[in-house]
Amino acid sequence: MTEVMKPEIWEKFPEDLFDIVLARLPIAKIICFRTVCRQWNNLITSQRFSRHCAQFSQVNPWFYITYGYEDNYKTMYDPFMKRWYNPTTFETPAFPVSSAGGLVCFVDSRGHNPNLYVSNPITQSFKKLPIGSIKSWRLLGMTMNRSAGYRVLKLGYREYEIYESVTKCWSYLGNVPNCTNFAISNHVSIDNTLYFKHANPEKIISCDTSTGVWTQHLIQAPLHSSDLTLAESDGRIMLVGLVRENYSKCVCIWEVQKMTFLLKEVDRKTIQFSGFNRMSHLSCMGIQGFLLCYLKSYDKYRMITYNISTREWVKVPVPFRTKLVDHYRHVNNHIRVRGTAFQPCLSAMPWCR
């Protein structure tokens, strides 16, 4: 813009319209406006402003990623601004395991009985959860109910329990169903239900955190597919994986049909870079129809996003520094990357749901 904003006009701009205008900005810009003055900070953190933001919710989710041998590096990616940000929520190494309603569940990566935290990465606020009955677990999942707060499911080796943010305590629910075993991998959260990906045999296991009811659904894995992971798109379950196609590999996305749990292909993209076709690995995270795929092959790394509604693939700059990549190549190891997608929300509060 080259036009000069005339002070005699804008100095009389009605204050009750500030929050309506600011609520339409990208979340990263709103955070910057908090530092303008105390008055604007109070406005942006008010309940009234939260209600305006709810009317103009952010289109794309953000991605919280940790990397390094002990998850000592952490970063967040905003696909709207196409920028990486460095959060300062935790001084100790902690990696994200699940998200729901703008909140992210973290695990302290140190010790044999690590602590659990629920945090809003945007406001940098967090709450440490009580220990609970299960000391060792293999999976964690998080769901959100707007009227009943959030729940965190802790899946042990023979039993499971659920933390309720309303009661602020863990409830012991009983033994793990026979349909679950050590082949369970990633998961997605839709309303009160967690869906877990299971391999050998290929199936999806669900748990309703409000009732504690577990169910299983067999799926037919596509031919020549590998690294199948779950994602979510507007309440639909998506499956993302690698498929061998002639002499190359491609990232393929399927929608899991709601009633039959049959797979319907949505899109695919051939990925080409040195060494990728011989030994490769894919991990994916995504909600609200926006996916971030992380691919690695030997010492090569690549990230791409996919928008299900627009069918657009976009290459993302990898946040690793060159010196860090060289270090892990020297010790003959890969950079371990762990992360989750979350919907940015200023009003999501981990401690007083």
State the average pLDDT for the chain. Answer: 82
Report pLDDT for 101: 86
Residue 322 Rama label (left phi>0; alpha psi -120 to 50; beta): alpha
Interatomic CA distance for residues 291 and 255, integer angstroms: 13
Interatomic CA distance for residues 296 and 292, integer angstroms: 13
CB atoms within 10 A of CB 204: 20
Q: How many helices, marked H, and strands, marked E, lie in the chain?
A: 6, 24
Q: Under 8 Å CB-to-CB from 221, ≥6 apart: which residues?
A: 202, 228
pLDDT tens track for 98-147: 999 889 999 987 766 788 999 998 888 889 999 888 888 888 999 998 67
Interatomic CA distance for residues 293 and 11, integer angstroms: 46
Interatomic CA distance for residues 173 and 154, integer angstroms: 10
The Cα-based distances of 124 to 45, 119, 155, 328 in angstroms read 13, 7, 27, 30
Report pLDDT for 335: 73
Report pLDDT for 118: 94
Q: What is the mean pLDDT of residues 46-64?
A: 75
Domain boundaries, the chain: 14-54, 57-342
Give yes or no for residue 56 having a pLDDT over 90. Answer: no
CATH number of the domain located at residue range(s) 57-342 in this protein: 2.120.10.80
More confident residue, 338 or 48: 338
For the entire predicted model, the pTM comes to: 0.85
Handedness of CA 231, 237, 242, 248 (dihedral sign): negative
Residues in the chain: 353
More confident residue, 283 or 33: 283
Q: Which long-range contacts (CB under 8 A, 24 or more apart) does 312-321 make?
A: 313/269, 314/79, 316/77, 316/79, 316/82, 316/292, 317/84, 319/65, 319/67, 319/75, 319/77, 319/84, 320/67
- H-type helices in 132-281, by residue range? none
